[in-house]
């Protein structure tokens, strides 16, 4: 018998594709919140999302009529010009909410911006209860309870709660990466919420993306990436690519976005693979965060039920863009790269044109007191005589001066190198400690007189919980009554340690990392903090031998061009750049 299927059945069939698991429903709800212009999105899950998914946003909200329409099939506010080749929003099909309502207990509570009242509508297994007055200050709250209660057969396909909640967290992480301007709070059951605070700027703003990526992926991840920024024709690629040495066992840490939309697309995955070529060991994968931007007409986003895949008009062009863009970024990832100065940076070296206007004595020039002209060497610069630049030195050359008690100036046969001593030392200590950690144990030194450190309750609690982890890192502490901790042993590599400051910082790191997955990641984050602490702080005077020793250590240290926070540890200016500065060429 040929017949039309009832709408409820059509919705259930659609739900099978659109919401194949809790994380997929969550993705739809979060995308709706973003489409509504939310700047804060709060997500709560129970039992991996099967019992409850709750998404609260502060977006534009819906009035009574809009709520009724929202749960109807093919009702959308997002296709004003009916052009599927010009999609600017995440949603466009008008099927997510009716699909969810067909297989779960769905409730939408919303208050339209500027309206005096809030409304609530519910759909349970396809049965709609019309809107009734509700109370809500602003925005929208969507609750999905008992997912698949109406289609019990689907329940069997759900994985463990743990794996469903992992998938949900992954959804939030991806969406959060693409939206640094939005605050996200994610809470699972009774656990402490994960919070990504607002980074001022959109993902195409390097600083904002860097900040959000550090929150989502961790400082360790970001300390091993190169910036990608490449454009060709109307296509552009931006983001970060991990150095080949930071390879991973899976492709899970490849975060790929097309016009801000998270995708897992074969063309993109294979292009990323191609970009790294044989720099990776067999069976290992790179980690990347890449945003591909192109005119909407270049890509069809309507080819996959959960919009996870896309189809490019010209996939060869897309592949070329990624391979070239990532390679170009990684080309600078070698341990020693001539960190060519950008034209703007170079420009900053040019002196201001001289001004012959007589200066008023009432407003002295800010930088030089009159007396400083009488000194041959400014007080904070010291030229080291102990160094002969003609001697054979390593790649970073010979130290010739130490300035502002912060920077080492070194000379190579064809360039000038400026090293940030603190950043460089931090990287060296970190890499050494990491190596020691990997090979079993970090050497400790026993303090002759243990340090007593006073901490507040929260910090103390966190450190006591982490006593075993800290011992793995060479830091042995024990409770000392009241709010005090006794520090018995410290990592030998760190040299002399200021216990109070170190422990406060570690407690801070523990607080920031409470939600971090995986012991290894947590240990590395602590290690990075320690390394930073044990490093030569700027402000210490170094002699020629010490400076050269630091340069030689840098030459032997992996990833030594960046400190643990991803800042450069040195810059190099080629002789030809210097000549350009002085108009010699
Ligand atoms: N959080 C929200 N805030 C404001 N309006 C919303 C919200 N969620 C849904 N809506 C409204 O309800 C409509 C239907 O949402 P639904 O997710 O079903 O479809 P869509 O987003 O238009 O398309 P798609 O099915 O591709 O997601 C949206 O077009 C929007 O107008
Ligand atoms: Mg939608």
32 lines ligand 1 (CB under 6 A): yes
Which ligand 1 atom is the nearest neighbour of the CA of 307?
26
Coil vs helix vs strand at 245 = helix
Percent of the chain as helix, strand, coil, to the nearest 5: 35, 25, 40
> Can you read off the two tokens belonging to residue 387?
């160094």
pLDDT for residue 539: 58
67 lines ligand 1 (CB under 6 A): no
Report the C-alpha gap between 13 and 9 in whole angstroms.
Answer: 6
Q: Which residue has the tokens 């109070």?
A: 500
Within the chain, what is the greatest distance between any pair of CA atoms?
Answer: 103
28 lines ligand 1 (CB under 6 A): yes
pLDDT for residue 54: 98
Ligand 1 centroid to 271 CA: how many Å? 33
Ligand 2 centroid to 191 CA: how many Å? 28
pLDDT for residue 19: 87
Query: Which residues are in the CB-under-5-Å shell of ion ligand 2?
Result: 32, 91, 96
Residue of minimum CA distance from atom 19 in ligand 1: 94
pLDDT for residue 302: 82
Q: Which residue has the tokens 């703007």?
A: 344
Mean pLDDT score across all residues of the chain: 82
Q: ∠ CA(482), CA(484), CA(490), 5° rounding?
A: 155
92 lines ligand 1 (CB under 6 A): yes
Provide CB contacts within 8 A for 388, sequence distance 6+.
398
Ligand 1 centroid to 517 CA: how many Å? 32
220 lines ligand 1 (CB under 6 A): no
The whole model's pTM is what?
0.62
91 lines ligand 1 (CB under 6 A): yes
Which ligand 1 atom is the nearest neighbour of the CA of 142?
1
Ligand 1 centroid to 183 CA: how many Å? 20
Ligand 1 centroid to 294 CA: how many Å? 24
pLDDT for residue 540: 66
Overall residue count recorded for the chain in this entry: 585
143 lines ligand 1 (CB under 6 A): no
pLDDT less than 50: residues of the chain? 333-344, 350-375, 377-390
Are 204 and 238 in contact by the 8 Å Cβ rule? The answer is yes
Ligand 1 centroid to 390 CA: how many Å? 70
Which ligand 1 atom is the nearest neighbour of the CA of 93?
26
Among 402, 244, 441, 417, residue whose Cα is nearest residue 333: 244
Report the C-alpha gap between 148 and 125 in whole angstroms.
Answer: 9
How many Cβ atoms are within 10 Å of 381's Cβ, its own excluded?
13
Are 570 and 339 in contact by the 8 Å Cβ rule? The answer is yes
pLDDT for residue 369: 27
Ligand nearest to the CA of 93: 1
527 lines ligand 1 (CB under 6 A): no
pLDDT for residue 515: 58
Are 179 and 35 in contact by the 8 Å Cβ rule? The answer is no
């Amino acid at each position: 018998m040929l017949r039309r299927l009832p709408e409820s059945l059509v919705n259930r069939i659609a739900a099978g594709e659109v919401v194949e698991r809790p994380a997929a429903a969550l993705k739809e709800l979060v995308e709706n919140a973003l489409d509504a212009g939310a700047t804060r999105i709060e997500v709560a899950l129970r039992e991996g999302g099967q019992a409850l998914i709750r998404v609260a946003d502060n977006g534009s909200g819906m009035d009574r009529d809009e709520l009724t329409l929202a749960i109807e099939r093919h009702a959308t506010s997002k296709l004003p010009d009916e052009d599927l080749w010009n999609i600017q929003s995440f949603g466009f099909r008008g099927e997510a909410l009716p699909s969810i309502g067909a297989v779960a207990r769905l409730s939408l509570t919303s208050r339209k911006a500027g309206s005096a009242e809030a409304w609530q509508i519910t759909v349970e297994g396809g049965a709609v209860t019309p809107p009734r007055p509700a109370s809500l200050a602003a925005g929208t709250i969507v609750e999905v309870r008992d997912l698949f209660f109406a289609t019990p057969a689907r329940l069997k396909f759900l994985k463990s709660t743990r794996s469903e909640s992992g998938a949900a967290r992954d959804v939030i992480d991806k969406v959060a990466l693409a939206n640094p301007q939005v605050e996200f709070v994610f809470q699972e059951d009774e656990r402490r919420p994960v919070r990504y605070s607002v980074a001022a700027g959109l993902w195409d703003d390097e600083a904002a993306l860097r900040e959000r990526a550090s929150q989502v992926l961790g400082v360790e991840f970001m300390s091993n990436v190169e910036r990608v920024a490449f454009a060709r024709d109307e296509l552009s690629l931006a983001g970060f690519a991990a150095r080949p040495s930071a390879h991973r066992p899976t492709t899970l840490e490849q975060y790929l976005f097309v016009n801000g939309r998270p995708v897992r697309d074969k063309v993109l995955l294979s292009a990323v693979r191609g970009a790294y070529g044989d720099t990776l060991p067999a069976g290992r994968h790179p980690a990347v965060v890449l945003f591909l931007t192109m005119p909407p007409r270049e890509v069809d986003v309507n080819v996959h039920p959960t919009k996870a895949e896309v189809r490019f008009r010209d996939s060869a062009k897309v592949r070329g863009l990624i391979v070239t863009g990532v390679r170009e970024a990684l080309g600078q990832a070698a341990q020693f790269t001539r960190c060519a100065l950008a034209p703007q940076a170079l420009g900053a070296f040019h002196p201001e044109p001289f001004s012959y206007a007589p200066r008023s004595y009432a407003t002295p020039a800010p930088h030089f007191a009159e007396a400083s002209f009488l000194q041959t060497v400014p007080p904070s610069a010291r030229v080291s005589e102990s160094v002969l630049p003609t001697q054979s030195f390593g790649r970073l050359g010979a130290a010739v001066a130490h300035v502002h008690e912060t920077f080492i100036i070194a000379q190579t046969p064809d360039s000038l190198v400026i090293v940030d001593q603190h950043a460089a030392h931090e990287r060296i200590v970190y890499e050494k400690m990491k190596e020691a950690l990997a090979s079993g144990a970090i050497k400790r030194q026993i303090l002759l007189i243990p340090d007593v450190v006073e901490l507040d309750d929260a910090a103390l609690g966190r450190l006591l919980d982490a006593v075993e982890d800290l011992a793995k890192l060479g830091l042995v502490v024990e409770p000392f009554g009241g709010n005090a901790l006794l520090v018995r042993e410290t990592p030998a590599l760190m040299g002399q340690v200021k216990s109070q400051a170190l422990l406060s910082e570690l407690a801070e790191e523990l607080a920031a990392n409470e939600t971090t997955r995986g012991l290894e990641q947590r240990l590395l984050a602590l290690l990075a903090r320690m390394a930073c602490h044990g490093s030569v702080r700027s402000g210490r005077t170094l002699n020629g031998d010490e400076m050269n020793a630091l340069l030689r250590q840098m030459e032997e240290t992996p990833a030594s061009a960046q400190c643990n926070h991803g800042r450069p540890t040195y810059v190099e200016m080629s002789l030809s750049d210097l000549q350009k500065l002085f108009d010699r060429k």
